[in-house]
């Protein structure tokens, strides 16, 4: 395989570029978007219109989940089908983009506001844009994974809005304008037109790999490092040919290739990555170190239960089922372990990928990559775990390395003693509404959670926080390893205690480590929270929602964020109190509980939770991603339906067309019983009577 790549001809892009095509402004104005798409109207971005650029466009809006059933150039038919805009006349929400509208419009550049590309790590989004003709992406700020995916595919990105007029004027633009400020490796990836092309040039010795600061002449012997920086320093590849790793220290801005310990992907991504691998490397080529690669079938195992008849008739279910076939075939050919195949005729998976990585594989000090934005889940045990796109995972199958520029870190310190009904989820909803996060300042940084209130959490609750680093827009989230990490590895995995204790040694940040920001939060000041629909950053205290209760139709308890053992304990605690009062799930509410792995399911069985859930009237669902990505029971079916969920995000369309509130496991369970969005207090008396009067609210 390597020999063939060494003989391949690779050339850089031209140093000057000229773009021929139109500019698509993604505005919060349905009529203006439609005018650009279907009437051929060109928009001049006045200061007034710039204020209307859509902020916070998630990858769910660029390519809704069902679009990602496609994994080839067909994706070019679909960019922005989930784009949410406002009809300025009626105030109603509209989704103006139709299939092929972008490609047919002849657009070469797409423009948006802040935090473009937030959410899922799906490389299908920039891949769809690329094959619809988009060569340049302009936005005030761009999320880290989405930006890297663009670079890896050859899509140019910039925050310089002056580029727009120059494209329209037909000017030649220097390629260097898209690389200014980039680290040495990123610059060369852009110059070579993508990550694979750069990696071939790297194998051929044509590229420059920067010498890390610690190895430069006159460098200090050491510097205080954060935990994440320690892990990066240990994994930096210093000599790829000899397999040499490690430097005394790294600092933010150091760029290089880092050796991974675990690489995983799921059925949404493995097929596209396998096509890249077979097309670019060879049909008979083998991945490097198959034992450190894992595949998961976890995202779409309940899809046939929720897909509309219209989409089934369009053939989308058949297209989705092909993802599983392609992944299984590639897994068997490569000898890679696949989780999900042993379920036989039953729906569900053995585990959601994040759940299994933490349950069985992640260790303090590891470097883990996965094709999902919630890969930071494993940071709960003191590992650096982060999401990557299709191209990055495919390249790691060749080299076992991943390209990283060491990010800056900021710290969230949580002190004080929380109330008995306040959880890690409430901490996260409080963090997510902080201006530093809402304004996009945290994009691409590492968030380190610390303080007595964090140290008091078990590993499952810590995982809720590191998991939701994705919603922060952070590179990853991490918590120092400690005695609770040791107990987790010993009690949950049966690891030898001496080895577990050895693994946590030094896996804490040094005194004097540098952080660009320290946010302090008092846990005692936090009350149970809910995130209002459309963004997890819309957090409010539940007791401030107003006098009119918010009736719910669905309560969904689960996902990778809230399908762990400690989460099940919380659901069971609330339901046990309601059961003791002779109550069941509110008759107007459909309640679902979905665990993160078969291990969690058996935990529930052993403790009698399954019988309790059934007695309460909740439907227990086998492991899988399900409603969190509109691919399982628990999704809304109409815009007027309301649901509350303990999952991680509630972007438009994420779990159906209805209004989705986020809450803690306690709050979701209490709301299921009460029939409206509410919190839980130990020993409370549930009031279903008033909930039954909500029909007119």
Q: What is the pLDDT of residues 346-389, one digit of tens each?
A: 567 889 999 999 999 999 999 999 999 899 999 999 999 999 98
Q: Is the pLDDT of residue 179 over 90?
A: yes
pLDDT tens, position by position, 202-234 = 888 888 888 888 889 888 889 999 999 999 999
Domains of the chain: 19-171 (3.20.19), 529-696 (3.30.499.10)
> What three-state secondary structure class fits 330?
helix
Backbone angles phi, psi at 112, to 5 degrees: -145, -175
- Give phi and psi for 413, each to the nearest 5: -105, 120
DSSP-assigned letter for residue 229: H
CA angle 147-149-152, nearest 5°? 110
pLDDT band (50, 70, 90) for residue 1: low
Give residue-wise pLDDT tens across range 529-573: 999 999 999 999 999 998 889 999 999 998 889 999 999 999 999
pLDDT given at position 690: 55
**CB-CB contact of 556 with 663 (8 Å):** no
Measured at the CA of 649, the angle between CA 268 and CA 426, to 5 degrees, comes to: 140
Alpha helices by DSSP H, 236-287: 270-280
What backbone phi and psi angles, to 5 degrees, belong to 486?
Answer: -60, -50
- Nearest Cα neighbor of 66 from 275, 353, 315, 298 is 315
Distance, in Å, from the CA atom of 109 to the CA atom of 96, rounded to the nearest integer, reads: 18
36 neighbors 43 (Cβ within 8 angstroms): yes
pLDDT at 689: 53
Q: What is the pLDDT of residue 338?
A: 94
Q: What is residue 341's predicted lDDT score, i.e. its pLDDT?
A: 58
- Here the tokens at position 452 are 């007595």
Which residues have C-beta within 8 Å of that of residue 499, sequence separation ≥ 6? none
Of 175, 172, 252, 182, the closest CA to residue 212 belongs to 252
Question: What pTM was computed for the model?
Answer: 0.85
- The tens digit of pLDDT for each residue in 102-154 reads 999 999 999 999 999 987 778 899 999 999 999 999 999 999 889 999 999 99
Q: What mean pLDDT, rounded, does the chain reach?
A: 92
Mean pLDDT computed over 425-442: 95
Report whether 533 contacts 659 (CB < 8 A). yes
Q: What is the pLDDT of residue 493?
A: 95
**pLDDT score of 691 more than 50:** no
Judged on CB neighbours under 10 Å (0-12, 13-18, 19+), 274 is: buried
**What pairs with residue 591 in β-bridges?**
555
End-to-end CA distance of the chain: 65
Mean pLDDT computed over 62-68: 87
> What pLDDT, on the 0 to 100 scale, is given for residue 273?
93
Would you say residue 696 has pLDDT above 90? no
Tell the burial category of 560 from Cβ atoms under 10 Å away from its Cβ (0-12, 13-18, 19+). Answer: buried
According to the 3-state scheme, what is the secondary structure of 4-24? HHHCCCCCCCCCEECCCCEEE
**How does pLDDT run across 471-498, given as a tens digit for each residue?**
999 999 999 999 999 999 999 999 999 9
Residue 697 has pLDDT above 50, yes or no: no
Q: Which of 355, 517, 526, 393 is nearest to 446 (CA)?
A: 517
44 touches 129 (CB < 8 A): no
Token pair 């939701």: residue? 468
The candidate with the shortest Cα–Cα distance to 507, out of 228, 190, 246, is 228
Return d(Cα 271, Cα 68) in angstroms, integer.
11
Torsion (CA) 367, 373, 378, 384 in degrees, nearest 10: 30
At residue 428, the 3 state secondary structure works out as: helix
Nearest CA-CA partner of 636 in 556, 550, 548:
556
pLDDT, tens digit (0-9, with 9 covering 90-100), for 640-678:
999 999 999 998 888 889 999 999 999 999 999 999 999
Cα(101)–Cα(59) distance, integer angstroms: 18
**pLDDT > 90? residue 311:** no
622: which 2 tokens? 């086998």
What CA–CA distance (Å, rounded) separates 121 from 127? 12
pLDDT the model gives residue 10: 85
9: burial class by Cβ within 10 Å (0-12, 13-18, 19+)? exposed
pLDDT above 70: percentage of residues in the chain? 97
DSSP assignment string, 382-404: T-EEEE--HHHHHHHHHHSEEEE
In angstroms, the CA 619 to CA 615 distance is 10
CB contact burial 321-358 (16+ within 10 A = b; e otherwise)? eebbebbbebbeebebebbbbebeeebbbbbbbbbbbb
Could you tell me which of 407, 477, 447, 436 has the C-alpha nearest to residue 144? Answer: 407
What CA–CA distance (Å, rounded) separates 79 from 62?
5
**pLDDT surpassing 80 at residue 259:** yes
* Rounded distance between C-alpha atoms, residue 573 and residue 613, angstroms: 11
The DSSP bridge pattern shows strands 554-557 and 590-594 to be: parallel
Cβ atoms of 475 and 144 within 8 Å: the answer is yes
E strand intervals along 349-465: 367-370, 384-387, 401-405, 409-415, 446-450
Hey, which residues does 16 pair with through a beta bridge?
A: 174
Q: Give the containing element (helix H, strand E) for 518.
A: strand 517-522
Q: Residue 3: which pLDDT band, with cuts at 50, 70 and 90?
A: low
């Amino acid at each position: 395989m390597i020999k063939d790549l060494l003989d391949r001809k690779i050339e850089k892009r031209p140093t000057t570029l000229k773009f021929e095509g139109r500019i698509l402004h993604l505005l919060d104005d349905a009529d203006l978007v439609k005018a650009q798409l279907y009437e051929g109207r060109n928009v001049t971005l006045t200061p007034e219109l710039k204020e209307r650029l859509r902020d916070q466009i998630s990858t769910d809006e660029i390519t809704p989940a069902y679009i990602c059933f496609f994994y080839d150039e067909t994706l070019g038919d679909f960019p922005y089908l989930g784009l949410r805009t406002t009809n300025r006349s009626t105030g109603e929400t509209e989704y103006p983009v139709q299939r092929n509208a972008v490609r047919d419009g002849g657009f070469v550049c797409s423009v948006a506001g802040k935090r473009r590309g937030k959410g899922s790590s799906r490389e299908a989004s920039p891949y769809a844009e690329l094959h619809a003709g988009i060569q340049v992406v302009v936005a005030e700020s761009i999320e880290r994974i989405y930006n890297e995916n663009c670079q890896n595919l050859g899509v140019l990105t910039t925050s310089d809005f002056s580029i727009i007029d120059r494209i329209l004027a037909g000017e030649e633009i220097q390629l260097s304008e898209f690389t200014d400020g980039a680290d040495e490796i990123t610059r060369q990836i852009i110059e070579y037109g993508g990550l694979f092309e750069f990696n071939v040039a790297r194998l051929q010795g044509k590229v420059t790999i920067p010498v890390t600061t610690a190895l430069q002449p006159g460098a200090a012997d050491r510097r205080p490092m954060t935990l994440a920086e320690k892990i990066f320093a240990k994994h930096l590849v210093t000599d790829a040919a000899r397999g040499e790793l490690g430097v005394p220290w790294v600092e933010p801005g150091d760029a290089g290739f880092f050796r991974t310990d675990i690489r995983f992907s799921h059925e949404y991504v493995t097929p596209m990555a396998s096509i890249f691998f077979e097309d670019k490397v060879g049909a008979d080529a083998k991945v490097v170190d198959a034992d450190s690669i894992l595949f998961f079938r976890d995202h779409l195992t309940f899809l046939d239960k929720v897909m509309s008849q219209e989409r089934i008739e369009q053939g989308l279910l058949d297209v989705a089922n092909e993802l599983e076939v392609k992944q299984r075939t590639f897994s068997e050919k490569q000898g890679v372990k696949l989780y999900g195949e042993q379920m036989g005729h039953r729906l569900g998976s053995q585990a959601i990928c994040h759940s299994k990585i933490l349950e069985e594989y992640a260790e303090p000090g590891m470097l883990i990559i996965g094709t999902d934005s919630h890969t930071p889940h494993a940071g709960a045990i003191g590992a650096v775990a982060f999401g990557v796109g299709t191209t990055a995972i495919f390249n790691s199958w060749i080299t076992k390395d991943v390209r990283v520029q060491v990010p800056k870190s900021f710290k969230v310190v949580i002190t004080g003693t929380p109330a008995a009904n306040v959880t890690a989820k409430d901490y996260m909803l409080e963090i997510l509404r902080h201006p530093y996060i809402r304004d996009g300042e945290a994009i691409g940084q590492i968030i380190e959670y610390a303080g007595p209130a964090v140290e008091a959490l078990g590993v499952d609750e810590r995982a809720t926080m590191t998991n939701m680093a994705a919603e922060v827009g952070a590179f990853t989230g991490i918590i120092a390893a400690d005695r609770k990490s040791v107990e987790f590895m010993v009690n949950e995995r049966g690891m030898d205690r001496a080895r577990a204790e050895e693994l946590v040694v030094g896996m804490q940040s040094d005194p004097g480590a540098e952080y660009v920001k320290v946010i302090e939060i008092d846990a005692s000041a936090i009350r149970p929270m809910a995130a209002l629909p459309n963004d997890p950053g819309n957090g409010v205290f539940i007791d401030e929602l107003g006098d009119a209760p918010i009736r719910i139709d669905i309560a969904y308890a689960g996902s990778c964020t809230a399908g762990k053992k400690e989460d099940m304990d919380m659901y069971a605690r609330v339901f046990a109190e309601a059961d003791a009062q002779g109550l069941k799930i509110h008759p107007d509410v459909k309640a679902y509980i979905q665990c993160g792995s078969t291990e969690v399911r058996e935990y529930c069985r052993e403790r009698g939770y399954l019988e309790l859930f059934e007695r309460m009237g909740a439907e227990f669902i086998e492991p899988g991603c399900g409603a969190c990505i509109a691919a399982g029971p628990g999704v809304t079916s109409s815009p007027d339906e309301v649901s509350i969920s303990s999952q991680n995000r509630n972007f438009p369309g994420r779990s159906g067309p209805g209004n989705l509130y986020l809450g803690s496991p306690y709050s979701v369970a209490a709301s299921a019983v009460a029939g409206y969005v509410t919190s839980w207090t130990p020993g409370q008396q549930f009031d279903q009577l008033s909930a039954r009067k909500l029909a007119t609210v």
